Amino acid sequence: MDWSPLLISLATSLAATAVTLVAGLAAAAWRQNRAGAGAALIDGIFILPLVLPPTVVGFLLLLLFGRNGPLGKLLLQFGTTVVFSWPATVIAATVVSFPLMYITARAALEQVDPHLLQAARTLGASEVRIFREVALPLAWPGVLAGTILSFARALGEFGATLMLAGNIPGKTETIPIAIYFAVEANEIQRAMVWCAVDVSISIVLLGGLYYWTHAQRLRRERWGQH
Amino acid sequence: MTLEVQIEKKLADFTLDVAFRATETPLSILGASGAGKSMLLRCIAGLERPGRGRITLNDRILFDWSQRVGIPARERRIGMLFQHYALFPHRTVAQNIAFGLHDLPHDEQSARTASVVSRTHLAGLERRYPRELSGGEQQRTALARALAIQPEALLLDEPLSALDTHLRGQVEAQLQETFATFRRPALLVTHNMEEAYRLGEQLLVLARGRVAAFGPKEEIFRHPPSSEVARLTGCKNISRAQPNPDGTLQALDWNCQLRPTHQPAAATKYIGIRAHHIDFLETAAEQAGEPNIFPSWIVRTSETPFRITLFLSLDPARAAAGEPHLQAEVFKEKWERFRDRPQPWRVRLAPESLFAMPD
């Protein structure tokens, strides 16, 4: 049996989660202390991939990165294209998992007592240092939960990936896509193996998340925060 | 060492409009909750931006609306103690204290931390986390953290309000000790007049965003400039008043004629006397011929462990209707001596204890 879908899925999800973690944190940090219609509109755009059907997201990405799309044209000038390549699986997984990261990171940062940030300011700390040494450590449990949810979402991505990256065995064929085409080709046994792999990974991830948040709750109680 | 503040800031219900100057002596800022006290401190610390005005600390301009200067909080070198201390929960006591010393060499950080730890009596607690500390210890940690940066001014926002009563005395002593060696502007915000009196030398009374009184605390407590200040400094007996041509005052709410020490100003509108200044005469002959002695009837009482508050009426009909004119406060020992004597009791509103107020 060809195990490449497992490797492709893991590599894609890890890469997408790494991008989403940095981008989601940056967006959440930027969104703090901002209010108004403009910020609310940007909120909507950030969260859109969560509510749109993955096929719509995939189609929009195809328009963006296709031969005649603005980003596609730009990439073409550097002699490259992402459609139907491995980076396309990462782009699709990143876009659909970003809202989960953004929402959880924002909620976690908002829960940090603003007086702590103000105290840090009166003690001479720069905003970057306050984010790194006060806000982030205190918001970390939420940020980690968002990371795991994003990874799980990236791992399960199907629709947008199929539209942007297609199904190229050994290159863009992730586990969900492998399952779809196995069923289509009536290879029920192969589909069941991949289902079992997917369910196992998800159970380990979500179980780990549950266990970890529980441990965090105990640690927070030690800090005196509830 | 001078902090000069002159700011305006629009708040939800009123405008904070304050001007004062603080020097080496600690200044208490007294006001009811919602009077704008915390906002004033936050403007000085640089956590809020005033609408207009100017704030200078020694020769540094921290804020100047007309020159468009606004130094950020992190560059102001002003230590601030927050009401609930705002200790970093994920850092130990020593790490909390050293937070503001980030740019110093490592050995100097340790030396400074050790020095404030000993000054604030935190030795032995350096490795504890905030939640493993008592309220008083948390408060001292927050104070140590603010002092560690060697601030040019210290701002304390309701430093005792989060503490149990039995801890307050101890923490007050710590604050007094700190003020005695600090010798730089120190501002303390409180809604408790006794705290304000004990911890400050100067007193600023804030009412709806305005300075209602500012000066040496003894002066303001002895002779409040307005009925509002009298009330905020704990005066229980205030009556509308009208000067008579013969130099006496008609107390309209108490329905009696009073003789103050000085001829009252024509603009006098209120007269006040503090509850513990009301005298009870124990013999008929005592103080005979003195002014301001009135018969009184008791309406009700309210006891604290050592003192008793007596609600008195100066005429029997009102006493029967349950409507007191005055509140008097006496020690229980004294109360035991006259409680069984027949009413009316004779009370004396000593001229030197009365204060007339223009508004």
Q: Where are the domains of chain B?
A: 3-231, 237-359
Given this model, what pLDDT does residue B288 score? 67
Nearest CA in chain A to B44: A122
Give me the domain span that covers residue A29: 4-223
A166-191 per-position pLDDT tens digit = 999 999 999 999 999 999 999 999 99
**Which among A116, A122, A126 has the least Cβ separation from residue B88?**
A116
Collapse the DSSP code of B294 into the 3-class scheme (helix H, G, I; strand E, B; otherwise coil) and give the result. strand
Q: Which residues of A touch B74 (CB under 8 A)?
A: 121-126
Min Cα separation A113/chain B (Å): 8
Mean pLDDT for chain B overall? 92
Q: CB–CB of B46 and A121 under 8 A?
A: yes
- What is the number of domains present in chain A? 1
Give tens-digit pLDDT for B216-262: 999 999 999 999 999 999 999 999 999 998 889 999 999 999 998 88
CA B211 remoteness from chain centre: 13
Which chain B residue's Cα is nearest to A117? B86
Which residues on chain A place their C-beta less than 8 Å from a C-beta of chain B? 113, 115-116, 118-126, 129, 133-134, 137-138, 222-225
Note the pLDDT tens digit of each residue in B294-349: 999 999 999 988 999 999 999 888 888 888 999 999 999 988 888 888 888 989 99
Please identify among residues 241-270 of chain B the ones whose CB lies closer than 8 Å to any CB of chain A: none
Measured CA to CA, the distance from residue B40 to residue A165 in angstroms comes to 59
B128 part of contact set with chain A, CB < 8 Å: no
Q: Which of A121, A123, A126 to mutate to test the interface with B (most CBs of B within 10 A)?
A: A123
User: Given an 8 Å threshold on Cβ–Cβ distance, is B80 in contact with A122?
Assistant: yes
pLDDT at B77 over 80: yes
> A191-197 long-range CB contacts below 8 Å, 24 or more apart?
A193/A1, A194/A5, A197/A6
Model confidence at A23, in pLDDT bands (50, 70, 90)? very high
User: Cβ A124–B75 below 8 Å, yes or no?
Assistant: yes
What six digits make up the tokens of B78? Answer: 């002003």
Range with lowest mean pLDDT among A193-202, B48-57, B155-164: B155-164
Contacts of A133 in chain B (CB under 8 A): 99
Task: Kindly list the residues from chain A whose CB atom is less than 8 angstroms away from the CB atom of residue B146.
Answer: 122-123
User: Does the domain formed by B3-231 have CATH 3.40.50.300?
Assistant: yes
pLDDT score for A226: 40
How distant is the Cα of A100 from the closest Cα of chain B, in angstroms?
26
**Which CATH number do you get for residue A113?**
1.10.3720.10
Nearest C-alpha of chain B: how many angstroms from A217?
A: 13
Whether pLDDT at A225 is above 80? no
Q: Which helix (H) or strand (E) holds A106?
A: helix A86-110
Q: Which pLDDT score is estimated for A223?
A: 63
Cβ under 8 Å to A: B residues 56-75: 72-75
Cβ atoms of residues A92 and A40 within 8 Å: no
* Of the partner residues B79, B99, B129, the one whose CB lies closest to the CB of residue A223: B129
User: B135 CA to chain A: closest CA distance, Å?
Assistant: 12
In this predicted structure, the answer to whether residue B190 has a pLDDT above a threshold of 80 is yes
Residue B131 and residue A122: Cβ atoms within 8 Å? no
3-state secondary structure of A112: coil
CA distance A124 to chain B (A): 4
- Write down the pLDDT at residue A212: 81
- CB proximity B14 to A under 8 Å: no
Give me the long-range contacts of A22-27 (CB less than 8 A, separation at least 24).
A23/A94, A23/A98, A23/A101, A24/A98, A24/A101, A24/A102, A24/A105, A24/A146, A24/A150, A25/A101, A25/A105, A25/A136, A25/A143, A27/A102, A27/A105
Q: What's the pLDDT score for residue B299?
A: 93
CB B210 within 8 A of CB B40: no
Distance CA B143, CA B141 (A): 5
Instruction: Tell me if chain A has a CB within 8 Å of the CB of B89.
Output: yes
Average pLDDT of the segment spanning A106-112: 93
Nearest to B149 among A115, A123, A225 (CB): A123
Distance from CA of A123 to the nearest CA of B (A): 5
Q: What is the pLDDT of residues B109-164, one digit of tens each?
A: 999 999 999 999 999 999 999 999 999 999 999 999 999 999 999 999 999 887 88
Which band of pLDDT confidence, cut at 50, 70 and 90, is reported for residue A31? confident
pTM of the prediction?
A: 0.84
Which chain A positions have a beta carbon within 8 Å of B47's beta carbon? 118, 121-122
Smallest Cα distance from A210 to chain B, Å:
22
Using the beta-carbon criterion (under 8 Å), do A223 and B82 form an inter-chain contact?
A: no
- The rounded distance, in Å, linking the Cα atoms of A99 and A111 is 18
**E strand or H helix at B241:** strand B237-243
How far from chain centre, in Å, is Cα A140? 16
Chain A residues whose CB is inside 8 A of the B90 CB are 137-138, 223
Decide if B84 and A125 are in contact by the 8 Å CB cutoff.
no
Q: In Å, how far is B222's CA from the nearest CA of chain A?
A: 37
Predicted confidence band of residue A39 (pLDDT cuts 50, 70, 90): confident
pLDDT of amino acid A220: 67
CB A191 within 8 A of CB A183: yes
Percent of chain B residues past pLDDT 90, beyond the cut: 74
B39: pLDDT strictly greater than 60 = yes
* Interface contact B146-A122, CB threshold 8 A: yes
What is the rounded average pLDDT of the residues A17-39?
A: 89
Angstrom distance (rounded) from CA B242 to CA B249: 6
pLDDT at A47: 94
Q: Measured between CB atoms, which of B47, B89, B102 is closest to A225?
A: B89
CB-based contact (8 Å) between B84 and chain A? yes
Nearest CA in chain B to A134: B88
- Please tell me whether the interface predicted TM-score (ipTM) of this complex is above 0.90: no
The mean per-residue pLDDT over the stretch B289-295 comes to: 86
pLDDT digits (tens, 9 = 90+) for A136-163: 999 988 899 899 999 999 999 999 999 9
Beta strands at B355-357 and B326-331: parallel, antiparallel or unpaired: unpaired
| Rounded to 5°, angle at Cα A133 from A130 and A134 | 65
